[in-house]
Chains A and B, each alone.
Chain A
Amino acid sequence: MITELGHYALILALATALVQSLVPLIGAQRNDAGMMAVGPMAANLSFVLVAFSFLTLTYAYVISDFSVLNVVENSHSMKPMLYKITGVWGNHEGSMLLWVLILVLFSALVANFGRNLPDKLRANVLSAQAWITVAFLLFILLTSNPFMRLANPPAEGNDLNPILQDLGLAIHPPLLYLGYVGFSISFSFAIAALIEGRLDAAWARWVRPWTLVAWTFLTAGISMGSYWAYYELGWGGWWFWDPVENASFMPWLAGTALLHSALVMEKREALKVWTVLLSILTFSFSLLGTFLVRSGVLTSVHAFATDPARGVFILGILAVFIGGAFALFGLRATALRTGGLFAPISREGALVLNNLFLTTATATVLVGTLYPLLLEATTGTKISVGAPFFNLTFGPLMIPLMIAVPFGPLLAWKRGDLMGATQRLYAAIGISILVGLVVMAFTTDEPVLAAAGMAIGAFVILGALTDLVNRSGAGRLPAATAWARFKGLPRSAFGTAFAHAGLGITMIGVVAASVYSTEHVSAMNAGDTVEAGGYTVRFEGLRDVQGPNYTAKSGLFVISRGGAEVARVTSAKRFYPARQMPTTEAGIRTFGASQLYVALGDMESNGKLVVRVWWKSWVTFIWYGTVLMMIGGALSLSDRRLRIGAPRKAARPARTAEAVA
């Protein structure tokens, strides 16, 4: 009964979304406040209905209701409660429901926190948002209904894919979707601006916080996904240039470009048309990613061709939204007046350069991801595009971009002084070159690559610090004054510095982990040792472990340094009988920024166990850097400028009242 209510609520949500997709739009055309007011109401109602629907499905999972097909296919009564709940989105139908839930959540947020938006803009944004909602609700109801019942319920479910039974999965998809789907707001703002034909600096100020929110969550999602793959897949890789990863990376690259171009638009009214185009493009990449992952086209072009219902549906959504948006753009973009003038050497110029390289990088990832699919579909020729291609094309594009990063914030708007900026960066440049030389002297394997990578990473970090030092006037002004100025710097300045420094730290992590990591593969008996990264790893033996829904062979390893024990790790191989599937649980121990990574291989015929031990140099920097980027996003978001001009804080009127009193 509850399941049917959930299904019904989803249908009601479709009806609400249909109302929301038209009434506020017509209201905005006719200047009818009553019709425009329907928007926020409908948005809230849609959110409540979809949330209820989602909760009923979760409930079916929690009580292991095996009369629901989706629960049977993806759950098991013995599964730990956490994975029963996360299993809700660990499958196609449920994850689409989560997708729509987050979509209507963002609509509701705009409805409730966007009170200071002009009525017409908000009405149009909510309508555009509802078009997307309608499309995806139809997709769920027509092709991917999670509420399907079974006439003869089985006694037990098929369990969730064991690889997905992990805390990483619990957090990864919701974060990723908050980012992916969050970009729908920038998209809807762009559509609204095109419909209204009004686009000014205020528009950029309104759209930026939403883009920042989406970008921060997407950064978190991608970073989590990378760490999850690193520890769960058992061979210590953290990025594979896999189409599924690329699907989330493309919106991130385009979104990063959008954050920067919206800044130019907000401050200088320039790059208007480009910013609108990027808003459309970014969400188009989100939709494309959804299509790639959800249609099954990646697994096999042929599998897609034999069961195309879902794929064709999403492809239709893709065509309508991207095609429609670009058509609207083509019709209206010329009406948008281009704004402020600027010299090539200026903050704007630097941000244009940022956009040039990020856009080219996005295009590179796009072509590398789609080319094999398109070539096979059109000519039947099968080719592979993998990591070596992306390393060769994407890598070189990042180098000029990274070198330019420290200069951008130091250049003035309108007309910058490159010599002046360079002079301020003297210390950063000097130290970075020194870093490069030291690295070159002590590296035998690929010294040039390592030195260049490390030096550029250091330069980006030091450049971020230089900007803060320069803005506070430290060195030029008395210490007390400089400190006061430092404290008074806008949060967005710290946001920029954190995000840029994070980028440098991630780069250093990537370079160090690629160049200095060592791998030690050996067949071991209990008592044997392996040396890695200055530590001795002794294999103590295997034992059997019984988990709630799996059995495992668990190896114990003692890590010592200079004869003294410093840590113990267990590394295991699990077997999940319900799916007849094994997984690996690597043993990982962090020493400083580096990690010792122990994974079990197969048992050899002579009774020895193949053990792989990796010393992963500075590998944690990769993820620490992304954490800094997220902090940077959050700091920028809390900037006063964005809070005042943008949809935030219902608490503000109360505070004003206090001040008056």
Chain B
Amino acid sequence: MKRFCLVLALSLLAGLSLVRPGFAVNPDEVLADPALESRAREISLELRCLVCQNQSIDDSNADLAHDLRVLVRERLKEGDTDEQVLDYVVSRYGEFVLLKPRFSVRTILLWGTPVLILLIGIAAILMGARNRAARRATPALSAEEQAEIDRLMKRGE
């Protein structure tokens, strides 16, 4: 919810009565096993608080974020791998819950654009370099200059 608040605040929009301060992980949620807890935190950072604006459940104090944090920890306690936990959450809440979208037909342009732009850029630079090299290779004499040289050469004879 805090995140929501920031966005609205920065957007300087009105109507912020929904916002409540508070924080993410509460002492009663924390798992006794530190290794498990640290995995839970890592997973939490990848899950979106569905009622918030672009905020992970690890940062949010919304009730739904709390429920999700508890859910993630329950799954971990039952021995799920990180991937299984994510799959489980996605099966219940949909892809929208992932802050890092999975690679699919729908997200191909999202993931592909950085690579594409980088490749296009490299290609453009290489082509530019080749053009420059080509220009350097061919002596850039205009017809008049050539004529002038020819004239001078003839005079010398």
Contact = CB atoms under 8 A, between A and B. Distances in A.
A and B physically associate: yes
Nearest to B11: A293
A244 B96 contact: no
B48 interface: yes
Contact of A235 (B14, B48, B59, B110): B59
Of B46, B97, B110, the most chain A CB neighbours within 10 A belong to B110
A359 B117 contact: yes
B16 A397 contact: no
Nearest to A519: B25
Contact of B117 (A363, A386, A523, A610): A363
B118 A356 contact: yes
Nearest to A524: B27
Contacts of A242: 3, 6-7, 10, 53-54
Given A299-B53, A581-B17, A371 B110 contact: yes
A73 B99 contact: no
Interface of A: 73, 90-92, 95, 161, 163-164, 225, 229, 233-235, 237, 240-244, 293-294, 296, 298-299, 341-342, 344, 352, 356, 359-360, 363-364, 367-368, 371, 375, 379, 381-389, 392-393, 397, 521-523, 573, 579-584, 599, 601-602, 604, 610, 612
A164 B54 contact: no
Contacts of B2: 233-235
Contact of B113 (A243, A363, A579, A581): A363
Closest 10 CB pairs of A and B: A386-B99, A388-B100, A367-B113, A364-B114, A363-B117, A163-B9, A244-B10, A356-B121, A382-B96, A582-B21
B101 interface: yes
B16 A581 contact: yes
Q: Which of B26, B28, B53, B100 has the most CB of A within 10 A?
A: B100
Contacts of A385: 99-101, 110
Contacts of B55: 240
Interface string B5-40: 111111111101101111111111010000000000
28 contacts: A91-B14, A161-B8, A161-B9, A240-B55, A242-B54, A293-B11, A298-B53, A360-B118, A363-B113, A363-B117, A364-B113, A367-B110, A368-B110, A381-B106, A382-B94, A382-B96, A383-B96, A384-B48, A384-B96, A386-B54, A386-B99, A388-B99, A521-B23, A521-B25, A573-B21, A581-B16, A583-B21, A610-B26
Contacts of B14: 73, 91, 161
Contacts of A582: 19-21
Interface string B36-58: 00000000011010000111100
A262 to B, nearest CB: 18
Q: How large is the interface on B (under 10, 10 to 19, 20 to 34, 35 or more residues)?
A: 35 or more
Nearest to A522: B27
B13 A299 contact: yes
A299 B22 CA distance: 21
B23 A386 contact: no
B147 interface: no
A427 to B, nearest CB: 31
B154 interface: no
Nearest to B135: A341
Contacts, number: 164
A383 B12 contact: no
A160 to B, nearest CB: 9
Contacts of B17: 579-581
A240 B99 contact: no
B12 A386 contact: no
B153 to A, nearest CB: 28
Residue of A240, A583, A599 ringed by the most chain B CB atoms within 10 A? A240
B130 to A, nearest CB: 11
Nearest to A601: B23
A124 to B, nearest CB: 28
A602 B20 CA distance: 11
Contacts of B113: 363-364, 367
A368 B21 CA distance: 28
B12 to A, nearest CB: 5
Contact of A356 (B11, B100, B107, B125): B125
Nearest to B23: A601
Contacts of B136: 341
B92 interface: no
A92 B100 contact: no
A579 B13 CA distance: 13
Interface in B95-124: 95-101, 106-107, 109-111, 113-114, 117-118, 121-122
A385 B27 CA distance: 29
Contacts of A521: 23, 25-27, 30
Contacts of B106: 375, 379, 381, 383
Given A379-B106, A384-B101, A392-B100, A91 B3 contact: no
B64 interface: no
Contact of B12 (A164, A342, A356, A573): A164
A256 to B, nearest CB: 16
A612 B106 CA distance: 40
Nearest to A392: B100
A240 B13 contact: no
B23 A229 contact: no
A92 B26 CA distance: 36
A89 to B, nearest CB: 8
B117 to A, nearest CB: 4
A525 to B, nearest CB: 13
Contacts of B151: none
B21 A234 contact: yes
A63 to B, nearest CB: 22
B155 interface: no
Contacts of A293: 10-11
Contacts of B21: 234, 573, 582-584
